[in-house]
Structure 1
Amino acid sequence: MIHQATNFYELTAYKLGRFYNAINLTVHFFTLPEIYIDSAQPVMEKHFIEIAKNHIPRYCLLTHYHEDHSGNAAKLKKLFNTKIISHKLSYSYLSNGFKLFPYEKMIWGKPERFTPDLFYKELLDLGKYTFKIIHTPGHSIDSICLLEINRGWLFTGDLYISSKPKYLRKDENIYEILKSLKKVLSLDFEVMFCAHKGIITDNPKLLIKKKITYIEEIIEKAKNLRKKDMSLKKIRNKLLGKEDITSIATNFDFCKLNFIKAIFQEELNEGNGYQ
């Protein structure tokens, strides 16, 4: 079990994980006085609840519905009457549940269904803290970032993670991710809080820029190679390398070919014979 805490002024970043201390196997949730940003993964419920008993939140702000972010929100409602706030597009996933792959159940666990108490508007005023809500779809339809406008703190959920990603989930939209990255780059922030990387104080805007540039370059190179009639798998091999243990372990739900397919998703949907 991974259980680490890092303090930053009045904020604490808790890093939780069931297996190895790897970026994709551990998740951060962040706490401020009476406020949580996300609620960790269900398999870490015991550790999460122990933390919550010592720092009871009045509010929990969700960045999106995925199980490693909303995983213990139902427990917060039941045990502490915490008000859960989400994007309105999260509602059906949180209240009705959603399908999980076997690897997701094993690594993060299945969250309990619940109904969020409030939906985000453009600004969320919680007294000492005021958050600007930025809708940043791509990773999921309901993904948001939260900018604490008085401190220049940006909570990015799963938008950033890495400047040079090689894998993509089947349901991710690379063009929406690119738009969302450009949207947050225009914001005024000095510190970034990433759900998988943790607290990033060293020039976070530069990291966002690097990711934008990287994605744009991969898209351009992939399209140029496709013009030469190269198959999608060969494009993957050339730009990202062959699939590895990460792809296999997730039954190719999270893999390199998905990144390349996402670039040509419109053509694939139209049935233009891409392979």
Structure 2
Amino acid sequence: MVHKSKKYYDLVAYKVGRFHDAINTTVHFFVLDNIFIDSAQPTTKKIFIEVAKKYKPEYCLLTHYHEDHAGNTYDLKKLFNTKIFAHNLSVSYLENGYKMLPYEKIIWGVPEKFSPDFIYSDKVEIGKYAFNVIHTPGHSVDSVSLIETIRGWLFTGDLFISAKPKYLRRDENIYTILESLKKLLNYDFDVMFCAHRGIVDEKPKELISKKIEYIEELIDKVKKLYEKGYSAKKIRNKLLGFEDITSFATNFDFSKLNIVKSVLSN
């Protein structure tokens, strides 16, 4: 079980995961005094609760409903009466649950259902912290990014992860992700807190711009090859390579071909 922490001024980033120290099977949640940003996955509940007992958080701000981000929120409410913020599109997933694939249950676990206490508006102010709430869908319909305006800190959930992604989930939309990334460039920030990368304090805006450029170039290449008569699989092989263990382990829910299919869906 991975369990690491890193302090950055008045923030602590906790990295937890069930299997090994890999970017996709581990996740970060962030602590700002009495505020948690996300609540990790149910398979790391024991470690998460140990950390939560140290802080007894009054608030938890969720970036989206997925089990590795909202997975222990029920326990925060039950143990500490933590008040939960979520996007209005998160509510039905958090309250009613959702279908999960076998690999998701094994790696992250099934979260218990709960109701959020507050629905995000454009801004959230808690004590000395002030957040702009930006709806940045694509990874999920309810995904938000949070910018702590006083410090210029950006929390991206799962929007960034990599400047050159080679895989996409079946339910992700490459065009919506692109629009959300471009939206972030309208804001001022100096540090990015990525749920899977952790603390990114060197030119985060430049990294986001590089991801935008990469996606736009990839879309253009896919479309040109398709116009030449290439099949989706041949386009994948040429631009991204053959599928590997990641794709097979997720039964192709997370695969290279999904990127090509998402581009051609438009």
Same structural fold, with TM-score higher than 0.5 when normalized by the shorter chain: yes
**Residue 265 of structure 1: how far off its partner (Å):** 1.3
Amino acid at match of 1:206: E
Identify the residue that residue 122 of structure 1 maps to in structure 2.
122
Tell me by how many angstroms 1:264 deviates: 1.1
Q: Which amino acid aligns with 1:24?
A: N
**Matching residue of 2:230:** 230
**Structure 1 residues without counterparts, runs of 5 or longer:** 267-275
* 4+ long deviations beyond 3 Å: none
Q: Deviations over 1:174-208 (max 9, x none)?
A: 00000000000121000000000000001001110
Measured in 1, the distance between the counterparts of 2:38 and 2:11 equals 13
Aligned-pair identity in percent equals: 65
Give the partner amino acid of 2:36: Y
3-state SS of paired residue (1:15): strand
Q: Deviations over 1:140-194 (max 9, x none)?
A: 0000000000000000000000000000000001000000000001210000000
Q: SS state of the match for residue 60, structure 1?
A: strand
Aligned position for 2:131? 131
Q: 1:84 — aligned with what?
A: 84
Root-mean-square deviation (CA), in Å?
A: 0.5
Secondary structure class of the residue paired with 1:132: strand
Instruction: Note the C-alpha offset of 1:111.
Output: 0.3
Task: Summarize the alignment of residues 164-203 of structure 1 with structure 2, pairs less than 5 Å apart.
Answer: 164-203=164-203
Secondary structure of the 1:99 match is: coil
Answering whether residue 195 of structure 2 is matched by residue 204 of structure 1, we say no
1:58, CA displacement in angstroms? Answer: 0.4
Name the aligned partner's letter for residue 130 of structure 1.
A
C-alpha separation in 2, matches of 1:195 and 1:133: 16
Q: 1 CA distance for matches of 2:25 and 2:130?
A: 31
Task: Tell me the residue number matched to 1:63.
Answer: 63
Q: Give the structure 1 partner of residue 259 of structure 2.
A: 259
Partners of 1:224 and 1:216 in 2: how far apart?
12
Give the structure 2 partner of residue 271 of structure 1.
Answer: none
Which residue identity does 1:198 align to in structure 2? Answer: G
Superposition TM-score, scaled by structure 2 size:
0.99
Structure 2: gaps spanning 5 or more residues: none
Residue 60 of structure 2 aligns to a residue whose secondary structure is strand
Separation (CA, whole Å) in 1 of partners of 2:228 and 2:203 = 39
TM-score (norm 1): 0.96
* Equivalent residue, structure 2, for 1:53: 53
Instruction: Determine the structure 2 residue equivalent to 1:161.
Output: 161
Task: Tell me, in whole angstroms, the C-alpha distance in 1 between the residues paired with 2:115 and 2:149.
Answer: 28
Letter of the 1:12 partner, please give it. Answer: V
Amino acid in the other structure paired with 2:237? N
Distance (whole Å) between structure 1 residues aligned to residue 27 and residue 125 of structure 2: 26
Deviations 1:88-126 (A, max 9, x none): 000000000011100000000000000001000001011
Q: Give the match for residue 213 of structure 2.
A: 213
Map of 2:36 onto structure 1: 36
